[in-house]
């Protein structure tokens, strides 16, 4: 059954994983006592460097591609060195925690509501397949997802257009008939330009970027209104 927001049918809801469904800061938060009061800065630096590594590898061509786990691991090693954290055991614990990030509190209920309404929900993520499988099972949301789509199918990271085309291929429908949900402004910008009805999740009230405010379907402080906007 078609669902709609306004005049546009919604055939599926596509979620970014890291930072949207899964709290990327929860790995560092779990070990805040060992990291000290600087842990939020270390966490932010880890995320920034992780993304930088993914973008640089995409821009320098397919022979330089490494999966997201290698980018994540290399980013952590650099950031810990920069902050003077020299603890091999803690490094391994942080990596293990990243594989099992906490889902934001509203996520399971949102996904259950979409499933109850017959609206497929999927992840489209930079994460490698095994990372995403581990993460969704640990967060208890694996069975609530119709599909988990990894950029490894095309061997390039977001925001390359080939990544967003994977969702269209998965559901056999146009981007304009799907909602795309992301907390990352650069990801939302790419989704908008691929033709998705796009929602930005802005938990911290960050300022507008890329002129998104004029292009988005909506900007939300969390995911709780997604079922309503999808027509559930």
Q: Residue 80: what pLDDT?
A: 98
Q: How far, in whole angstroms, is CA 64 from its chain's centroid?
A: 22
16, 23, 67, 187: which one is catalytic?
16
d(CA 199, CA 217): 6
Query: For residue 103, what are the β-bridge partners?
Result: 22
Is the separation of the CB atoms in 149 and 166 below 8 Å? yes
Query: For residue 181, what are the β-bridge partners?
Result: 15, 199
Interhelix angle 161-171/185-194, rounded to 10 degrees, is 60
pLDDT for 4 beyond 80: no
Largest distance between two CA atoms of the chain? 56
Q: What is the pTM of this model?
A: 0.95
Q: Tell me the average pLDDT of the chain.
A: 95
Q: Residue 157: what pLDDT?
A: 98
Q: pLDDT digits over 187-210, tens only?
A: 999 999 999 999 999 999 999 999
pLDDT for 162 beyond 80: yes
Could you tell me which CATH class the domain 3-23+103-230 is placed in? alpha beta
Closest CA to 181 of 43, 2, 5: 5
Residue that is written with structure tokens 């069975």 in the block: 143
d(CA 164, CA 14): 10
The share of the chain scoring above pLDDT 70, in percent, equals 96
Is the separation of the CB atoms in 179 and 120 below 8 Å? no
Can you tell me the mean pLDDT for 22-39?
97
> Which tokens sit at 175?
């981007």
Q: What is the spatial order of strands in the sheet that 121-125 belongs to?
A: 147-150, 121-125, 12-15, 178-182, 197-201, 218-220
**Which CATH fold would you assign to the domain 26-99?**
DNA polymerase; domain 1 (1.10.150)
Please name the residues in contact with 22: beta carbons below 8 A apart, sequence gap of 6 or more.
101, 102, 103, 104, 135, 139
Q: Give catalytic status of residue 16 as yes or no.
A: yes
Q: pLDDT digits over 47-104, tens only?
A: 999 999 999 999 999 999 999 999 999 999 999 999 999 999 999 999 999 999 999 9
pLDDT for 232 beyond 90: no
Domain ranges of the chain: 3-23+103-230, 26-99
Q: Residue 1: what pLDDT?
A: 30
Q: Residue 169: what pLDDT?
A: 98
Is the separation of the CB atoms in 143 and 136 below 8 Å? no
Q: pLDDT digits over 90-145, tens only?
A: 999 999 999 999 999 999 999 999 999 999 999 999 999 999 999 999 999 999 99
Closest CA to 105 of 145, 132, 133, 141: 141
Can you tell me the mean pLDDT for 15-37?
97
d(CA 126, CA 158): 7
Q: Are strands 121-125 and 147-150 parallel, antiparallel or unpaired?
A: parallel
């Amino acid at each position: 059954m078609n669902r709609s927001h306004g005049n546009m049918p919604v055939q599926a809801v596509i979620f970014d994983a890291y930072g949207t469904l899964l709290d990327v800061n929860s790995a560092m938060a779990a070990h805040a006592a060992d990291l000290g009061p600087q842990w939020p800065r270390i966490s932010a630096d880890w995320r920034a460097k992780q993304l930088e590594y993914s973008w640089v590898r995409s821009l320098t061509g397919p022979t330089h591609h490494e999966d997201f786990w290698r980018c994540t691991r290399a980013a952590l090693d650099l950031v810990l060195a920069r902050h003077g954290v020299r603890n091999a055991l803690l490094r391994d614990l942080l990596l293990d925690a990243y594989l099992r990030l906490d889902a934001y509190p509203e996520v399971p209920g949102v996904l259950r509501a979409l499933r109850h309404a017959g609206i497929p929900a999927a992840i489209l993520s930079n994460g490698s397949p095994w990372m995403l499988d581990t993460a969704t099972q640990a967060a208890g949301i694996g069975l609530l997802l119709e599909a988990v789509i990894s950029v490894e199918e095309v061997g390039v990271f977001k925001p390359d257009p080939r990544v967003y085309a994977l969702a269209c291929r998965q559901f056999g429908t146009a981007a304009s008939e799907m909602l795309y949900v992301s907390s990352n402004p650069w990801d939302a910008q790419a989704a908008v330009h691929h033709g998705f009805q796009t929602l930005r999740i802005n938990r911290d009230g960050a300022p507008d970027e890329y002129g998104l405010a004029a292009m988005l379907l909506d900007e939300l402080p969390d995911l709780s209104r997604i079922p309503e906007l999808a027509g559930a």
